[in-house]
Amino acid sequence: MQPLERNRLHALDSIVDDRGELVVIEAQQHVPFVIERVYCILGKQGLARGFHAHHQLQELLVCLSGSCRVVVDNGFERGDWLLDRPNQGLWVGPMEWREMHDFSEGVVLMCLADAHYDEADYIRDYDQFLVEVRGEAVP
């Protein structure tokens, strides 16, 4: 089990001048894996998303616009991060429960993933996640 704080936030290169800001994301430099899929979540205020884990998939979450709060749970401890700038990414690994909350108006959350969509990789029940990650039933 990897502690939740270790290497969780990834700084992305940012070049700022009088024209604005250019943020660079490169696989295996800023992202600790080869990118196979990119998708964006356009969240709605007051509604949460996620509430699942993956057996194998890992992701880097980057808030391109607005903000949201991401909860990551490894079955033993939970961490909570505010994503509110495009030059920082939050790494979420395999066998980690993820939840996205508190979407601001106009939020765009980009997700970089190391594999294509595979429904069989999802764990959508929290109790089942705990059984799988801990290797035992949770009372």
- Residues 12, 99, 127, 54: is their CA dihedral positive or negative? negative
Active site residues: 52
The residue type found at 33 is F
| Residue 12 tokens, joined | 């992305």
- The length of the chain in residues reads 139
β-sheet bridge partners, residue 28: none
For tokens 């699942």, what's the residue?
52
